[in-house]
């Protein structure tokens, strides 16, 4: 018996099975574009207010 031919097929190389939803270079996360800190803080405050309003 050739034991090298038995068993599962070898796994693929180190590749992902899916595309990341926030991958670099996409429309939502373009290369070289970092959101300003003021914009981030405004979004965080708006989210906190929305969460507080639902309680």
Cα 50 off chain centre by: 24
Say if residue 2's pLDDT is above 70: no
Q: How far apart are alpha carbons 17 and 53 in whole angstroms?
A: 39
Q: How far apart are alpha carbons 8 and 10 in whole angstroms?
A: 6
The model's pTM: 0.39
Domain borders along the chain are 19-55
Asked if residues 24 and 31 have their Cβ atoms less than 8 Å apart, the reply is: yes
Token output for 22: 């926030």
Q: Which tens digit of pLDDT belongs to each residue from 35-45?
A: 788 989 999 99
């Amino acid at each position: 018996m050739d034991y090298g031919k038995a068993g599962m097929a070898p796994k693929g190389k180190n590749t992902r099975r899916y595309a990341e939803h926030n991958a670099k270079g996409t429309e939502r996360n373009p290369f070289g574009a970092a959101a300003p800190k003021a914009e981030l803080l405004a979004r965080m405050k708006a989210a906190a207010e929305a969460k507080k309003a639902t309680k």
